[in-house]
Protein backbone atom coordinates (compact mmCIF):
# COMPACT_ATOMS: atom_id res chain seq x y z
CA UNK A 1 0.00 0.00 0.00
CA UNK A 2 1.23 3.40 -0.84
CA UNK A 3 1.32 4.84 2.61
CA UNK A 4 3.55 2.11 4.03
CA UNK A 5 6.23 3.10 1.53
CA UNK A 6 6.16 6.69 2.62
CA UNK A 7 6.35 5.71 6.27
CA UNK A 8 9.61 3.89 5.79
CA UNK A 9 11.25 6.75 3.96
CA UNK A 10 9.85 9.29 6.37
CA UNK A 11 12.24 8.41 9.16
CA UNK A 12 15.32 9.42 7.20
CA UNK A 13 13.68 12.15 5.23
CA UNK A 14 13.97 14.91 7.82
CA UNK A 15 17.70 14.37 8.26
CA UNK A 16 18.41 14.24 4.56
CA UNK A 17 16.20 17.22 3.92
CA UNK A 18 18.00 19.12 6.65
CA UNK A 19 21.41 18.39 5.20
CA UNK A 20 20.32 19.24 1.68
CA UNK A 21 18.84 22.43 2.97
CA UNK A 22 22.09 23.33 4.76
CA UNK A 23 24.13 22.77 1.63
CA UNK A 24 21.66 24.75 -0.41
CA UNK A 25 21.85 27.66 1.98
CA UNK A 26 25.63 27.46 2.00
CA UNK A 27 25.86 27.59 -1.75
CA UNK A 28 23.21 30.23 -2.06
CA UNK A 29 24.97 32.43 0.41
CA UNK A 30 27.51 33.95 -1.93
CA UNK A 31 29.13 35.96 0.76
CA UNK A 32 29.79 32.90 2.88
CA UNK A 33 31.40 31.30 -0.12
CA UNK A 34 33.61 34.31 -0.68
CA UNK A 35 34.61 34.16 2.96
CA UNK A 36 35.42 30.48 2.71
CA UNK A 37 37.58 31.09 -0.33
CA UNK A 38 39.49 33.88 1.37
CA UNK A 39 40.18 31.82 4.45
CA UNK A 40 41.27 28.83 2.46
CA UNK A 41 43.57 31.11 0.50
CA UNK A 42 44.96 32.46 3.72
CA UNK A 43 45.71 29.01 5.05
CA UNK A 44 47.27 27.91 1.79
CA UNK A 45 49.54 30.94 1.72
CA UNK A 46 50.57 30.31 5.30
CA UNK A 47 51.45 26.71 4.59
CA UNK A 48 53.30 27.41 1.37
CA UNK A 49 54.92 30.67 2.45
CA UNK A 50 58.51 29.59 1.79
CA UNK A 51 57.54 28.62 -1.73
CA UNK A 52 55.34 31.61 -2.50
CA UNK A 53 57.43 34.42 -1.11
CA UNK A 54 59.82 35.83 -3.71
CA UNK A 55 62.33 37.10 -1.14
CA UNK A 56 63.53 36.42 2.36
CA UNK A 57 61.35 38.58 4.61
CA UNK A 58 64.29 39.48 6.83
CA UNK A 59 66.74 40.30 4.14
CA UNK A 60 67.63 43.94 4.13
CA UNK A 61 68.76 45.84 1.10
CA UNK A 62 69.65 49.34 2.09
CA UNK A 63 70.31 50.38 -1.48
CA UNK A 64 66.70 49.86 -2.29
CA UNK A 65 64.88 51.36 0.65
CA UNK A 66 61.36 52.65 0.31
CA UNK A 67 61.05 51.62 -3.28
CA UNK A 68 57.58 51.90 -4.80
CA UNK A 69 55.77 48.84 -6.18
CA UNK A 70 57.53 47.56 -9.27
CA UNK A 71 58.01 44.35 -11.14
CA UNK A 72 60.82 43.22 -8.87
CA UNK A 73 58.98 44.17 -5.74
CA UNK A 74 55.26 43.87 -6.37
CA UNK A 75 54.32 45.70 -3.23
CA UNK A 76 57.42 47.82 -2.82
CA UNK A 77 60.08 47.73 -0.15
CA UNK A 78 60.13 49.04 3.36
CA UNK A 79 62.51 51.26 5.27
CA UNK A 80 65.16 48.56 5.38
CA UNK A 81 64.78 47.55 1.78
CA UNK A 82 62.90 44.38 2.66
CA UNK A 83 60.28 43.14 0.20
CA UNK A 84 56.85 44.03 1.49
CA UNK A 85 55.09 41.22 -0.34
CA UNK A 86 57.33 38.58 1.15
CA UNK A 87 56.89 40.00 4.60
CA UNK A 88 53.14 39.95 4.21
CA UNK A 89 53.24 36.37 2.98
CA UNK A 90 55.36 35.23 5.88
CA UNK A 91 53.13 37.26 8.16
CA UNK A 92 50.30 34.84 7.44
CA UNK A 93 52.14 32.25 9.46
CA UNK A 94 52.33 34.54 12.43
CA UNK A 95 48.66 35.40 12.22
CA UNK A 96 47.73 31.78 11.85
CA UNK A 97 49.85 30.88 14.85
CA UNK A 98 48.16 33.57 16.89
CA UNK A 99 44.67 32.44 15.90
CA UNK A 100 45.32 28.79 16.61
CA UNK A 101 47.04 29.28 19.94
CA UNK A 102 44.65 31.90 21.24
CA UNK A 103 41.66 29.80 20.24
CA UNK A 104 43.13 26.69 21.80
CA UNK A 105 43.99 28.37 25.08
CA UNK A 106 40.84 30.45 25.43
CA UNK A 107 38.46 27.65 24.52
CA UNK A 108 40.15 25.31 26.94
CA UNK A 109 40.06 27.71 29.86
CA UNK A 110 36.62 29.00 28.98
CA UNK A 111 35.11 25.57 28.51
CA UNK A 112 36.43 24.22 31.77
CA UNK A 113 35.21 27.21 33.71
CA UNK A 114 31.90 27.13 31.89
CA UNK A 115 31.35 23.46 32.57
CA UNK A 116 32.16 23.75 36.25
CA UNK A 117 30.14 26.90 36.68
CA UNK A 118 27.14 25.61 34.81
CA UNK A 119 27.11 22.17 36.31
CA UNK A 120 27.70 22.90 39.98
CA UNK A 121 25.83 26.14 40.18
CA UNK A 122 25.43 27.81 43.54
CA UNK A 123 28.32 29.58 45.17
CA UNK A 124 30.89 28.23 42.74
CA UNK A 125 28.84 29.57 39.86
CA UNK A 126 28.45 32.97 41.49
CA UNK A 127 32.15 33.30 42.18
CA UNK A 128 33.20 32.18 38.73
CA UNK A 129 30.67 34.46 37.13
CA UNK A 130 31.85 37.44 39.14
CA UNK A 131 35.39 36.68 38.05
CA UNK A 132 34.18 36.54 34.47
CA UNK A 133 32.42 39.85 34.94
CA UNK A 134 35.64 41.31 36.25
CA UNK A 135 37.41 40.46 33.05
CA UNK A 136 34.48 41.68 31.03
CA UNK A 137 34.45 44.99 32.82
CA UNK A 138 37.33 46.12 30.64
CA UNK A 139 37.22 46.89 26.96
CA UNK A 140 39.10 43.87 25.69
CA UNK A 141 41.85 45.68 23.85
CA UNK A 142 42.67 47.76 26.90
CA UNK A 143 42.95 44.72 29.11
CA UNK A 144 45.00 42.88 26.54
CA UNK A 145 47.27 45.88 26.26
CA UNK A 146 47.71 46.00 30.00
CA UNK A 147 48.64 42.33 30.17
CA UNK A 148 50.90 42.51 27.17
CA UNK A 149 52.73 45.51 28.55
CA UNK A 150 52.99 44.02 32.00
CA UNK A 151 54.36 40.73 30.77
CA UNK A 152 56.73 42.39 28.37
CA UNK A 153 56.10 42.92 24.67
CA UNK A 154 56.60 39.78 22.69
CA UNK A 155 54.57 37.52 20.45
CA UNK A 156 54.11 34.89 23.12
CA UNK A 157 52.95 37.39 25.67
CA UNK A 158 50.60 38.94 23.17
CA UNK A 159 49.07 35.53 22.61
CA UNK A 160 48.65 35.05 26.34
CA UNK A 161 47.16 38.53 26.69
CA UNK A 162 44.61 37.97 23.97
CA UNK A 163 43.67 34.58 25.37
CA UNK A 164 43.10 36.18 28.75
CA UNK A 165 40.63 38.49 27.13
CA UNK A 166 38.85 35.93 24.98
CA UNK A 167 38.11 33.05 27.32
CA UNK A 168 35.12 34.78 28.89
CA UNK A 169 33.11 34.34 25.72
CA UNK A 170 33.46 30.59 25.82
CA UNK A 171 32.91 30.42 29.57
CA UNK A 172 29.54 32.10 29.26
CA UNK A 173 28.52 30.07 26.27
CA UNK A 174 29.46 26.73 27.76
CA UNK A 175 27.87 27.64 31.06
CA UNK A 176 24.58 28.45 29.37
CA UNK A 177 24.63 25.24 27.38
CA UNK A 178 25.62 23.18 30.39
CA UNK A 179 22.77 24.60 32.40
CA UNK A 180 20.36 23.66 29.66
CA UNK A 181 21.74 20.19 29.28
CA UNK A 182 22.27 19.20 32.87
CA UNK A 183 18.57 19.05 33.55
CA UNK A 184 17.64 16.83 30.66
CA UNK A 185 16.37 13.35 31.29
CA UNK A 186 19.36 11.96 29.49
CA UNK A 187 21.78 13.27 32.06
CA UNK A 188 19.52 12.26 34.91
CA UNK A 189 19.49 8.75 33.58
CA UNK A 190 23.24 8.59 33.37
CA UNK A 191 23.56 9.94 36.85
CA UNK A 192 21.13 7.33 38.09
CA UNK A 193 23.33 4.71 36.51
CA UNK A 194 26.08 5.87 38.81
CA UNK A 195 28.31 7.86 36.52
CA UNK A 196 30.78 10.04 38.35
CA UNK A 197 30.78 13.81 37.98
CA UNK A 198 33.96 13.92 35.98
CA UNK A 199 32.62 11.37 33.57
CA UNK A 200 29.34 13.17 33.16
CA UNK A 201 30.98 16.48 32.53
CA UNK A 202 33.55 15.44 30.04
CA UNK A 203 32.10 12.46 28.33
CA UNK A 204 28.50 13.49 28.12
CA UNK A 205 27.90 17.17 28.54
CA UNK A 206 30.99 18.42 26.78
CA UNK A 207 30.31 16.71 23.45
CA UNK A 208 26.92 18.34 23.33
CA UNK A 209 28.42 21.78 23.64
CA UNK A 210 30.89 21.29 20.83
CA UNK A 211 28.66 22.63 18.11
CA UNK A 212 27.94 26.07 19.57
CA UNK A 213 31.59 26.33 20.58
CA UNK A 214 32.67 25.75 17.01
CA UNK A 215 30.33 28.40 15.75
CA UNK A 216 31.57 30.90 18.29
CA UNK A 217 35.17 30.07 17.47
CA UNK A 218 34.65 31.06 13.87
CA UNK A 219 32.90 34.23 14.86
CA UNK A 220 35.71 35.21 17.21
CA UNK A 221 38.61 34.78 14.85
CA UNK A 222 38.18 38.12 13.18
CA UNK A 223 38.22 39.86 16.54
CA UNK A 224 41.34 37.98 17.58
CA UNK A 225 43.21 39.15 14.52
CA UNK A 226 42.10 42.73 15.02
CA UNK A 227 43.19 42.68 18.63
CA UNK A 228 46.51 41.11 17.73
CA UNK A 229 47.04 43.68 15.01
CA UNK A 230 46.17 46.42 17.46
CA UNK A 231 48.74 45.16 19.91
CA UNK A 232 51.28 44.84 17.13
CA UNK A 233 50.55 48.34 15.98
CA UNK A 234 51.22 49.70 19.43
CA UNK A 235 54.44 47.78 19.69
CA UNK A 236 53.08 45.39 22.29
CA UNK A 237 53.14 42.28 20.18
CA UNK A 238 55.70 40.60 18.05
CA UNK A 239 58.89 42.59 18.07
CA UNK A 240 60.91 43.67 15.02
CA UNK A 241 62.10 42.30 12.74
CA UNK A 242 59.23 39.78 12.85
CA UNK A 243 56.85 40.52 9.97
CA UNK A 244 53.65 40.88 11.98
CA UNK A 245 51.08 42.86 10.05
CA UNK A 246 50.06 45.28 12.79
CA UNK A 247 53.66 46.16 13.50
CA UNK A 248 54.25 46.64 9.80
CA UNK A 249 51.43 49.16 9.61
CA UNK A 250 53.02 51.00 12.49
CA UNK A 251 56.44 50.96 10.84
CA UNK A 252 55.00 52.37 7.69
CA UNK A 253 53.31 55.18 9.50
CA UNK A 254 56.45 57.29 9.62
CA UNK A 255 56.77 57.06 5.87
CA UNK A 256 53.14 57.60 4.92
CA UNK A 257 53.96 60.68 2.90
CA UNK A 258 56.44 59.16 0.53
CA UNK A 259 56.08 55.42 0.96
CA UNK A 260 52.41 54.79 1.48
CA UNK A 261 52.62 51.18 0.35
CA UNK A 262 54.10 49.78 3.52
CA UNK A 263 51.18 50.60 5.78
CA UNK A 264 48.55 50.31 3.11
CA UNK A 265 49.28 46.78 2.00
CA UNK A 266 49.90 45.33 5.41
CA UNK A 267 46.66 46.87 6.61
CA UNK A 268 44.92 45.52 3.55
CA UNK A 269 46.10 42.04 4.42
CA UNK A 270 44.60 42.37 7.88
CA UNK A 271 41.34 43.72 6.51
CA UNK A 272 41.08 40.96 3.94
CA UNK A 273 41.59 38.10 6.36
CA UNK A 274 39.24 39.60 8.95
CA UNK A 275 36.71 40.13 6.18
CA UNK A 276 37.01 36.49 5.23
CA UNK A 277 36.33 35.35 8.78
CA UNK A 278 33.46 37.75 9.18
CA UNK A 279 31.80 36.64 5.96
CA UNK A 280 32.23 33.04 6.95
CA UNK A 281 30.93 33.70 10.42
CA UNK A 282 27.94 35.60 9.09
CA UNK A 283 27.24 32.80 6.68
CA UNK A 284 27.35 30.22 9.44
CA UNK A 285 25.09 32.31 11.58
CA UNK A 286 22.60 32.73 8.77
CA UNK A 287 22.61 29.04 8.00
CA UNK A 288 22.03 28.04 11.58
CA UNK A 289 19.40 30.64 12.31
CA UNK A 290 16.22 28.63 12.68
CA UNK A 291 14.03 31.46 11.53
CA UNK A 292 15.84 31.99 8.29
CA UNK A 293 15.73 28.35 7.44
CA UNK A 294 12.22 28.44 6.05
DSSP per-residue codes, 162-184: HHHHHHHHHHHHHHHHHHHHHTS
Q: How far is the CB of 112 from other proteins (least distance, A)?
A: 20
Asked if 118 contacts 77 with a C-beta cutoff of 8 angstroms, the reply is: no
19 binds other proteins (CB under 8 A): no
146 binds other proteins (CB under 8 A): yes
Neighbouring C-beta atoms of residue 18, cutoff 10 Å: 11
Sequence-distant (≥ 6) Cβ neighbours of residue 164 within 8 angstroms: 135, 143, 144, 147
For residues 133 and 127, give the distance between their C-alpha atoms in angstroms, rounded to a whole number: 10
Nearer to other proteins, 141 or 179 (CB): 141
For residues 20 and 22, give the distance between their C-alpha atoms in angstroms, rounded to a whole number: 5
DSSP E strands, the chain: none
Applying CB under 8 A, which part among 2-10, 96-104, 117-125, 194-202 lies near other proteins?
2-10
Nearer to other proteins, 69 or 235 (CB): 235
Nearer to other proteins, 3 or 198 (CB): 3
- Please identify which residue in 139, 184, 202, 254 interacts with other proteins, judged by CB under 8 A: 139
Q: How far is the CB of 210 from other proteins (least distance, A)?
A: 26
Q: How far is the CB of 97 from other proteins (least distance, A)?
A: 19
Q: List the interface residues with other proteins, window 179-238 (CB under 8 A).
A: 222, 226, 229-230, 233-236
158 binds other proteins (CB under 8 A): no
C-alpha dihedral sign at 257, 258, 259, 265 = positive
- Please identify which residue in 52, 208, 215, 271 interacts with other proteins, judged by CB under 8 A: 271
| Residue 83 bridge partners (DSSP) | 77
Nearer to other proteins, 2 or 194 (CB): 2
294 binds other proteins (CB under 8 A): yes
Neighbouring C-beta atoms of residue 35, cutoff 10 Å: 23
3 state SS of 83 = strand
- Please identify which residue in 84, 274, 280, 284 interacts with other proteins, judged by CB under 8 A: 274
- Please identify which residue in 18, 56, 72, 133 interacts with other proteins, judged by CB under 8 A: 133
Q: How far is the CB of 56 from other proteins (least distance, A)?
A: 26
For residues 11 and 159, give the distance between their C-alpha atoms in angstroms, rounded to a whole number: 48
Sequence-distant (≥ 6) Cβ neighbours of residue 95 within 8 angstroms: 42, 46, 225, 228, 244, 245, 273
165 binds other proteins (CB under 8 A): no
Interface with other proteins (CB under 8 A): 2-3, 6, 10, 21, 24-25, 28, 31, 130-131, 133-135, 137-143, 145-147, 149-152, 222, 226, 229-230, 233-236, 246, 249-250, 253, 256-257, 260, 263-264, 267-268, 270-271, 274-275, 278-279, 282, 291, 294
Amino acid sequence: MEYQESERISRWRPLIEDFKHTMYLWRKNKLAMVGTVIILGFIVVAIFAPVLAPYDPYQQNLHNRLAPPSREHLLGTDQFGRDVLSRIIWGTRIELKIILLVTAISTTIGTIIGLISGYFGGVIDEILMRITDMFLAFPSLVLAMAFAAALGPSLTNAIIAISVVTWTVYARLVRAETMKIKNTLYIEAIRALGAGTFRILFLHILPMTVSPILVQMTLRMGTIILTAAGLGFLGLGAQPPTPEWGAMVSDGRLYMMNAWWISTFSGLAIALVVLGFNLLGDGIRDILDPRLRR
